Structure 1
Amino acid sequence: MHIVDAEGCYLIDANGKRYLDFSSQLMCSNLGHKNQVVIDSIKKQAEDLAYAMPGYATNARAELSKLLLEVLPKGINKFFFTTSGTDANEAAFKIARMYTGKTKIISRYRSYHGSTSSSIAATGDPRRWPMEPRGKAQGVIFAPEAHCYKCPLKHSYPDCGLACADYIEHMIRNESDVAAVLVEPIVGTNGVIVPPKGYMQKLRKICDENGVLLIADEVMAGWGRTGEWFAMDLWGVTPDILTTAKGITSAYVPLGLCATSEKIGDFFQDNYFAHGHTYEAHPMTLLPAVATINEMKRLKLVERAKELEPFVHEKLVALKAKHPSIGEIRGHGLFWAVDLVKNQKTKEPFNTYADKISGKALLVDQIAGKCLAEGMTIQAWVSHFVIAPPLIVTKEEIEWGINLLDKWLHLADEQCMPTEEPASTSVTSDA
């Protein structure tokens, strides 16, 4: 599809056809398209100072740093600027290992952390598989995800006592060299998986008691998407290191951020920081981030995502009630997943990771293709859809998008296996 223009919540192809951008491209265009304030900031920075090496201070760097102190979780105040989320994670791993003197990173199976060497090694999903055994060589080990709907430990919350967190503690105590635990606070591409109440607080406590750092990958969940500036704010938990990208500039220019506590930052006042690159803190990427944050504040988009959450929740609950192919809906703010299953009781999906890797035609892709033909783009991954429109979206646009999905879900319903007894409505939205 040849895209030639975009404005607001819509993409426009070479034939002039408009498409509702129902997943903010790759869950990154939070401000929507063609925001003039951000566009003007790009022009201004190009005219003022197109480039300065990372060793120099710039006005854009100072201005952005001040704003970050206002919106990041309190206590996160040392910044290393990158050009993407995967670069931010690469920096986080190096920082964690240099700071602790340890090697191993615990990640989770339902995760994605980027495509470069260490980031893909820390990715739990099958995009890592072609790189094996490189991941093992890079000192990454994997824990079960906090996914109550399909618990990998076959437990039931809350009776389990958060066994998925306890398992991570068991790993730490049986590994000699753990530097950090890496989590997406709300898992992104792999299902918008919301952890149960108490999980993040317990994980913070486990890390503190065992001298392990907690890294929060907020590349996708950050920047107002969940109704808070950052998903970790939902639980009042501050990580030791926070990585982010995407919404920091609403993807108008490529920028990532690796931010740490002052304690970690101070360590490198007296110890060599063995990391860096030519485009770190590139001024052309920093001023658009300033504009993006200011626009989010002006338009009250974080508050807007929180205000729209009940509306989206209501519409998705109604959608699930109509379609036996929907196993669960889950999310926060304007960040939701619709999970498809053959059978609501057994929770068997229509497709698996193996199908994705093999190139088999996936049911979710067929449905997404029907939606595309009628003027909507939506991200489909293995067995679920990600609903994450720009934060400027209207209720009418949300309703139109969900109605279009409703229209084509019969393709899944027709392939459902009979359920012997009605399944209870399964919805995850309360952190």
Structure 2
Amino acid sequence: MSDTVFNPRNSLSSDEVVTLTRQHNYGTWRYQKSWKPLHIVDAEGCTFTDASGKQYLDFSAQLMCSNLGHKNQAVIRAIGEQAQKLAYIMPSYATDARAELSRLLLDVLPDGLTKFFFATSGTEANEAAFKIARMYTGKTKIIARYRSYHGSTMASIAATGDPRRWAMEPGGKGQGFLFAPEVHCYKCPIKHTYPGCGIACADYLEHMIENESDVAAVLVEPVVGTNGVLVPPPEYLPRLREICNRHGVLLIADEVMSGWGRTGEWFAVNHWGVKPDILVTAKGITSAYVPLGLCATTQTIADYFEDHFFAHGHTYEAHPITLGPAIAAIGEMQRLGLVARAKEMGAYLGEKLHALKLKHPSIGEVRGLGLFWAVDLVRDQQKKTPFNTKQDKVDGKPTVVDQVAAECMKNGVSLQAWISHFVIAPPLIIEKSQIDAAVEVFDRALTIADQAL
């Protein structure tokens, strides 16, 4: 075998990189004609850098996943060390990384979650959760909610409430997924007012369970992510847990985005003392340095499969190179005290964003928990009318939030926009001075929305 080292071509100009990417790759969740990808060459801490040398403050942690920020050296070293030690072995074998990560997860996951399936993304972890719930209960239907996102593979997109599901219809009903109203007190979908409603959205969900023949599980993001950082009132999740218990239905918590300190707790369910039967997570588990998803179940569910066939698996399950960095990422979160820091810095960020609401008539609501916030834009604060609709997004129409986000990007701040709101979720290592700088840019950009009223 030759000792010659392959050196890939590295002399492409920035224009060539962008052109080749655009011509031969699909841009996700968009019309391809509008995709003009920016060439990124570096990232460190809370910033990333384009090919011209311009830096951007990463105010949404990419896709709400880079919780440790960029270039954390402990995680980077763990990737290389694991690659040198054991780059791959099929999932029927035990490895040091698998055992050590399992031990650490018992310390940081909500109590009672003791058996793990390692995937390579949040959507794959959700697919595992659906299969486990159906195998364990012998039932088929899973109730999700309309303002939700659970992934892009076939079952996960069928379980997604937002318009990204529409292109795959009738996938939801065909795969046994039903949709309940989301919990959204700012603009309640069933026209109730909290607290006098008595948590009617939970009662509605129980009504669905009572009128369906074979509900296996209820699937919720404890704090809804992309679809608006919807923080439930304190009674909601405990009520939902009680409803599921009473009807023999499993509760699946999708913490792909809300986990790993994002909300000021290791996992969002901890805010309300709720223990799910199955918890799904990804993103922050490695700070997105390598792709890893996790499906965790109770021991009760695990015991069932001692004498029943576990009908799931794939080539990259428990891939060693994904597990080693997760060990390092958990260690770094503990060393840096990032769960407590998210709570502290989140309070500071929240004050800044609430101050913007007093200043800008285009802001309908500011809501959040920890370092996980949303800012809703509206045409009319009294009527709570959004600038754009779900159909606008599907039809590829320009949205006001996209215009505001583009102005922020022009001025060195990257933040995620979706239909009629922004998701603001910076790395958990962010400093107050960086929050101040980003909010100042956002403040100026919001004049675009004010002028559109």
TM-score between the two structures when normalised by the length of structure 2: 0.91
Report the equivalent of 2:220.
183
Q: Which amino acid aligns with 2:338?
A: L
* Secondary structure at 1:385 match in 2: strand
Report the equivalent of 2:112.
75
**C-alpha distance in 2, partners of 1:412/1:320?**
12
**C-alpha distance in 2, partners of 1:317/1:109?**
27
Report the equivalent of 1:241.
278
Report the equivalent of 1:66.
103
Report the equivalent of 1:426.
none
Q: Which amino acid aligns with 2:127?
A: E
After superposition, the CA RMSD in angstroms is 0.5
Report the equivalent of 1:331.
368
Following superposition of structure 1 onto structure 2, how do residues 285-304 of structure 1 map, counting pairs within 5 Å? 285-304=322-341
Give the deviation of 1:310 after TM superposition: 1.9
Q: Does 1:21 align with 2:49?
A: no
Give the deviation of 1:376 after TM superposition: 1.0
Q: Does 1:85 align with 2:129?
A: no
Identity of aligned residues (%): 71
Unaligned runs of at least 5 residues, structure 2: 1-37
Q: Does 1:358 align with 2:392?
A: no
Q: Does 1:55 align with 2:92?
A: yes
Summarize deviations over 1:293-346 as a string: whole Å, max 9, x none: 000000000010011122112111111000000000000000000000011100
Q: Which amino acid aligns with 1:206?
A: I
Q: Does 1:173 align with 2:173?
A: no
Report the equivalent of 1:96.
133
- Pick one of 281, 300, 307 that aligns with 2:344: 307
Report the equivalent of 1:132.
169
Report the equivalent of 2:233.
196
Q: Which amino acid aligns with 1:32?
A: G
**C-alpha distance in 2, partners of 1:141/1:207?**
15
Give the deviation of 1:222 after TM superposition: 0.3
Report the equivalent of 1:420.
none
* Secondary structure at 1:107 match in 2: strand
* Secondary structure at 2:305 match in 1: helix
**C-alpha distance in 2, partners of 1:369/1:57?**
48
Following superposition of structure 1 onto structure 2, how do residues 198-277 of structure 1 map, counting pairs within 5 Å? 198-277=235-314
**C-alpha distance in 2, partners of 1:30/1:369?**
23
Give the deviation of 1:393 after TM superposition: 0.2
Q: Which amino acid aligns with 1:388?
A: A
**C-alpha distance in 2, partners of 1:312/1:194?**
16
* Secondary structure at 1:310 match in 2: helix
**C-alpha distance in 2, partners of 1:398/1:380?**
18
Q: Which amino acid aligns with 1:5?
A: D
Q: Does 1:413 align with 2:450?
A: yes
Report the equivalent of 1:349.
386
**C-alpha distance in 2, partners of 1:285/1:41?**
10
Summarize deviations over 1:172-225 as a string: whole Å, max 9, x none: 000001000000000000000001120000000000000000000000000000
Summarize deviations over 1:65-121 as a string: whole Å, max 9, x none: 011000000001100000000000000000000000000000000000000010000
Summarize deviations over 1:128-149 as a string: whole Å, max 9, x none: 0011112111000000000000
Q: Which amino acid aligns with 2:226?
A: T
Q: Does 1:321 align with 2:358?
A: yes
* Secondary structure at 2:405 match in 1: helix
Report the equivalent of 1:157.
194
**C-alpha distance in 1, partners of 2:410/2:196?**
46
Give the deviation of 1:255 after TM superposition: 0.2
Give the deviation of 1:161 after TM superposition: 0.3
Q: Does 1:403 align with 2:440?
A: yes
**C-alpha distance in 1, partners of 2:374/2:351?**
14
Unaligned runs of at least 5 residues, structure 1: 417-431
- Pick one of 11, 24, 44 that aligns with 2:48: 11
Report the equivalent of 1:282.
319
- Pick one of 38, 48, 70 that aligns with 2:75: 38
Summarize deviations over 1:262-296 as a string: whole Å, max 9, x none: 00011111100000000000000001000000000
Runs of 4+ off more than 4 Å: none
**C-alpha distance in 1, partners of 2:401/2:205?**
32
* Secondary structure at 2:380 match in 1: coil
Report the equivalent of 1:389.
426
* Secondary structure at 1:269 match in 2: coil
* Secondary structure at 1:341 match in 2: strand
**C-alpha distance in 2, partners of 1:124/1:400?**
35
* Secondary structure at 2:78 match in 1: helix
Report the equivalent of 2:178.
141
Summarize deviations over 1:358-409 as a string: whole Å, max 9, x none: 0000110111111111111100000001110000000010111111110011
**C-alpha distance in 2, partners of 1:262/1:140?**
25
Q: Which amino acid aligns with 1:377?
A: S
Summarize deviations over 1:221-259 as a string: whole Å, max 9, x none: 000000000000010101000000000000000000000
TM-score between the two structures when normalised by the length of structure 1: 0.96
Q: Which amino acid aligns with 1:214?
A: L
Q: Does 1:117 align with 2:154?
A: yes
**C-alpha distance in 2, partners of 1:124/1:310?**
30
Report the equivalent of 1:2.
39
Q: Which amino acid aligns with 1:204?
A: R
Report the equivalent of 1:376.
413
**C-alpha distance in 2, partners of 1:208/1:239?**
11
